[in-house]
């Protein structure tokens, strides 16, 4: 059987399921076939195409670059078939799958998702960090990825959808709460609630405070805008978050000069552009 014939046959469906699970046992169970049978299908597919589809990374299985591309093609094919069948039977519009972090889902794209939901569009959400969101996009598990900071590579289409200044979140009785804005040096001596070391927001904050010669102490390390604000509300320390994050009573947000705006990007692949158009329209200008 030729590579083209295999791409039009059951082996492609089997590989799509394997790509989702990255595990032969789980994928074979989902397909209701034996694990050896699944091995044979994928081995024949790889041989017919003349490429390696996966490799071992320690105890894990990882798709090769060619495997990632084939996975995206396979999942697109499967989802297009599902969409065609729904349209054939006059069912509702296809589900839009969005991959994004918790903060982006709540504070950046929550309202656009709500609005298109009211229009009758079904939305499925994958909670993922930047790398996982882009992987979900490139492998076809997500139609749209929303990421922060730097734009994605040119392998996908992208649009900046939002940009927010960073703010110092403090008790509304703190001496700095009366300021219209603060400079980085005004944070000198503060106890700060920050993300864990290595997270993008923490790395950028560490670098900016170091460059400004600011002395500060770690009050607590937690992941996610909501937890940063929650600990600030408990009086653990001040924190620095995006200006879009909502605050409870008792806290105030003071814009910080000297920190860059945090930009958010929507990314999608060209074959899925028809699915993401409605949501992109809801974002509006992302300046």
Tokens 């300021």 belong to 179
Of 15-24, 230-239, 267-276, the least confident = 267-276
Distances (CA, A) of 181 to 67, 87, 166, 193: 50, 54, 11, 19
Instruction: Please compute the mean of the pLDDT values over residues 145-161 and round it to a whole number.
Output: 90
pLDDT of residue 259: 94
Which among 265, 263, 224, 259 has a CA at the least distance from the CA of 245? Answer: 224
pLDDT of residue 119: 83
pLDDT tens, position by position, 98-123: 999 999 999 999 999 988 888 888 88
Higher per-residue pLDDT: 89 or 142: 142
Residues 267 and 152 sit within 8 Å (Cβ to Cβ): yes
DSSP 123: E
Residues 228 and 195 sit within 8 Å (Cβ to Cβ): yes
Residue 85 contacts by C-beta under 8 Å, 6 or more apart in sequence?
A: none
Residue 101 has which token pair? Answer: 């972090």
Of 99-103, 166-170, 188-192, 266-270, the least confident = 266-270
CA 141 distance to own-chain centroid: 12
Instruction: Please compute the mean of the pLDDT values over residues 250-260 and round it to a whole number.
Output: 95
60 SS3 class: strand
Residue ranges of E strands in 128-250: 144-148, 157-164, 166-171, 182-183, 191-194, 217-221, 238-242
* pLDDT at 280 exceeding the cut of 90: no
pLDDT tens, position by position, 38-70: 998 898 888 888 899 999 888 888 888 888 888
pLDDT of residue 98: 94
CA distance 147 to 104: 8
* pLDDT at 124 exceeding the cut of 70: yes
pLDDT tens, position by position, 211-247: 999 999 999 999 999 999 999 999 999 999 999 999 9
Residues 265 and 159 sit within 8 Å (Cβ to Cβ): yes
pLDDT of residue 96: 87
* pLDDT at 30 exceeding the cut of 60: yes
């Amino acid at each position: 059987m030729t590579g083209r014939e295999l791409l039009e046959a059951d082996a492609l469906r089997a590989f799509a399921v394997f790509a989702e699970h990255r595990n032969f046992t789980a994928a074979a169970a989902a397909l209701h076939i034996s694990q050896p049978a699944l091995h044979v299908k994928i081995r024949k597919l790889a041989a017919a195409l003349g490429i390696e589809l996966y490799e071992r990374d320690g105890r894990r299985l990882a798709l090769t670059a060619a495997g990632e591309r084939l996975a995206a093609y396979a999942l697109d094919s499967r989802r297009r078939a599902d969409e065609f069948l729904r349209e054939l039977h006059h069912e509702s519009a296809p589900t839009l799958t969005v991959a994004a972090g918790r903060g982006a889902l709540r504070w950046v794209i929550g309202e656009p998702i709500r609005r298109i939901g009211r229009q009758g569009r079904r939305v499925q959400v994958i909670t993922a960090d930047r790398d996982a969101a882009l992987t979900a996009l490139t492998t076809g598990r997500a139609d749209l990825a929303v990421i922060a900071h730097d734009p994605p590579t040119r392998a996908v289409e992208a649009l900046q959808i939002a940009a927010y200044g960073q703010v110092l979140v403090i008790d509304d009785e703190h001496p700095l709460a009366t300021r219209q804005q603060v400079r980085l040096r005004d944070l000198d001596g503060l106890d700060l609630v920050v993300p864990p070391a290595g997270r993008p927001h923490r790395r950028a904050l560490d670098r900016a405070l170091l460059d400004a010669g600011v002395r500060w102490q770690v009050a607590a390390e937690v992941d996610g805008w909501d937890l940063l604000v929650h600990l600030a509300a408990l009086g653990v320390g001040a924190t620095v978050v995006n200006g879009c994050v909502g605050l409870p009573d008792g806290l105030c947000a003071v814009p910080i000069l000297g920190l860059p705006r945090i930009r958010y990007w929507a990314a999608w692949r060209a074959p899925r552009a028809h699915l993401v158009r409605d949501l992109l329209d809801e974002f509006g200008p992302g300046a």
